[in-house]
Homo-oligomer: A and B are copies of this chain.
Amino acid sequence: MSQPRKRSGGPVRLTTSSATALRPAITSEITGGMWAHRRQINRDVSIPAGWNRLHQAGNFHNLELAAGRTTGDYVNDLPFLDSDVYKWLEAVAWAFADPALDSSLADLLRHWLDETERLLRDAQQPDGYLDSHFQVRFPGERFVQLKWGHELYCAGHLIQAAVALHRTTDDAGLLEVARLVADLVVNTFGMQPGKVDGVCGHPEIETALVELYRETGAEPYLAQARYFVDRRGHGLLGDGRFGRHYWQDHVPVRDAASVEGHAVRQLYLLAGVADVYAETSDAELLEALKRLWAEMAASKTYLTGGIGAHHSDEAFGDPYELPNERSYCETCAAISSIMFSWRMLMITGEAKYADLMERTLYNGLLAGLSLDGQRYIYSNPLQVRDGHVARGNDHDYERVEWFHCACCPPNVMRTLASLEHYVVLGSDTRAVLHQYLSGRYAAGVAGGEVWMEVATDYPWDGTVTIRLAEAPAGRWELALRVPHWAEQPTLTVNGTPVDTALTDGWWVVSREWNGGDEVVLVLPLEPRFTVADPRLDVARGAVAIEYGPLVYCLEAVDNPGHRLDDLTVDIAVAPKVGPVNDSLGGVATIRTAGRVRPRTSASWWPYTSADARARDELGESVALTAVPYYAWGNREPGAMRIWVPTT
């Protein structure tokens, strides 16, 4: 078996004292299947295009202004354009660890990286300060516009990029730039006299500083992350136009009962809190993390794993306030949810966190990127109405090449480029395969290393074959996640059925393993109808179609001749897998029986007495075709919906 080039760490690399139940894999490589294809497009199309887009959008221009290399005005009215460059850099960094990276592209990326690194060095001020927006527009004004300035947010993304690059290439140049920034932050912020006692309007630096601590061993970074976590929630930011909840400054995270405010801010913060917990074992933080994740999952998460119900403040709504047409579901928020859930999975070892990761990966996140890797969507609706009028801004429903506020595209890039790390975990006693992606993975278990080769056509087929290429001696556990939706799964080891029971979502096989052992997990896949908690009013009397981890939707283009708003689904007839749709990259379609609701009276007013409505007819029969939600919006514009009323 060929091994990945380099035993690189991923976005999280724990310390020897981290308080987690599970630890990241030693090495990971995705070798085939749907995600390998998406990663190839990300690597070969999206990331290279990012270089050009960031130049066209002015991000590099702004840094060149800060470096004194050019003249002109700061481009764009947003203060955080540097962060897009950093997220793109992080994507480049992860791409270097991809064994499938073509050498000429690798050279090009290396060249761009070197150029960018020189640019950042030139822009960085002697004491470490680096932020093009403030250097150009507010020279000398540092760390005073904490509400909206995003200085620490940008610093966090720089740190993450530098850590990633250090992990995949041993390149310490960018890390040096980032450490100068981090040291300035450490020296600037705190409760001691002469320091700034404050937090950033947009959390992000917390998780970055913990990772920098993990990478360098320098404890002040961890202490600083803890400071930022602890000082948030005391009103230091004051009221912004959306109130204190918006930036989670209304209550300390230890005391918070619910996720609130801007969804990305909330979950970047919680990812950072999880990191702080992992390195400090602060039990109060862990309780808060569990409580907030549970509240989010149970009452503020869309079927797709998407989060954020409000457009105006990009925020969580109230419990069960999950509008379909205006689901905000920012692509970045899906990413932040995966970051948070992954950390909770490592900390607790509980399968539900991996379940939500999977749902969010296959639906809420993946819908944010076009199939060709060239266009993005910012907010991901669960429904587009017949008669929708495109309003032409960042938050509309048509995919575009770049945004005025382009946080999502490079965030998608860095996530896909590091996806291999989100598959396998290990502990002293257990190797855990929690996502089903074909590839080669190694986890440290029982004092040795488990090397597994995973082969599957998931999510189109539910059979997952795991070959243990190497296995440490002695008894240890192999744990496979059985998703919460799976019915009647089967498991064999070397052809022999395993009859141990499922434990909290894991199928755990404890035995003395040998190299060459083969485990086959079968998750029977049948299309299914899903309903929502009755408190979720917008889905009342409706079903969604799901298939394995995939949420499906109806698109107008597949259901011509009718308005989607007039279609109902007959749940007495089981949905079936239909023909493969090649124009959508070979996805399985699903066919199901429905009706076309007759148009009711031509009254001017759409509300009527309950008695009158009871006389409505069912309407003519029609066969409905559904496609995976992640593939929607890749053909002609038109209506779309996930929740379909029952006949």
Chain A residues close to B by CB (< 8 Å): 239, 241-246, 258, 260, 294, 297-299, 301, 303, 309-313, 317-321, 323-326, 352, 355-356, 383-389, 391-393, 395-396, 484-485, 528-538, 540-544, 565-566, 571, 597, 600, 603-610, 613, 616, 643, 645
Contacts and interface: CB of A to CB of B under 8 A. Distances in A.
Contact of A395 (B312, B530, B603): B312
A242 B245 CA distance: 25
B597 A534 contact: yes
A544 B184 CA distance: 59
Given A310-B311, A325-B317, A387 B258 contact: yes
A607 B566 contact: no
Nearest to A260: B389
A383 B565 CA distance: 23
A317 B607 CA distance: 18
A326 B298 CA distance: 20
A321 B326 contact: yes
Nearest to A568: B534
Given A385-B320, A540-B542, A298 B241 contact: no
Given A529-B610, A571-B610, 5 more contacts: A244-B392, A319-B386, A319-B387, A534-B600, A535-B565
A381 to B, nearest CB: 10
A327 B146 CA distance: 32
Nearest to A303: B607
Contacts of A386: 318-319
A608 B565 CA distance: 23
A537 B326 contact: no
B245 A537 contact: no
Contacts of A531: 607-610, 613
A536 B606 contact: yes
A485 B383 CA distance: 32
B393 A319 contact: no
Copies of this protein in the assembly total 2
Contacts of A242: 391, 393
Nearest to A540: B541
Contacts of A241: 393
Contacts of A603: 298, 484
A326 B323 CA distance: 8
A539 to B, nearest CB: 8
A587 to B, nearest CB: 21
Given A391-B243, A393-B243, A537-B324, A385 B606 contact: no
A537 B242 CA distance: 28
The 5 closest A-B CB pairs, nearest first, are A318-B385, A533-B606, A243-B392, A311-B312, A243-B391
A397 to B, nearest CB: 10
Contacts of A319: 385-387, 565
A536 B600 CA distance: 13
Contacts of A537: 324, 383, 538, 542, 643, 645
A309, A391, A565: most-surrounded residue (chain B CB, <10 A) = A391
A609 B294 contact: no
Contact of A604 (B294, B387, B388, B395): B294
Given A325-B318, A645-B540, A606 B243 contact: no
Given A326-B310, A355-B605, A610-B543, A387 B643 contact: no
A393 B241 CA distance: 7
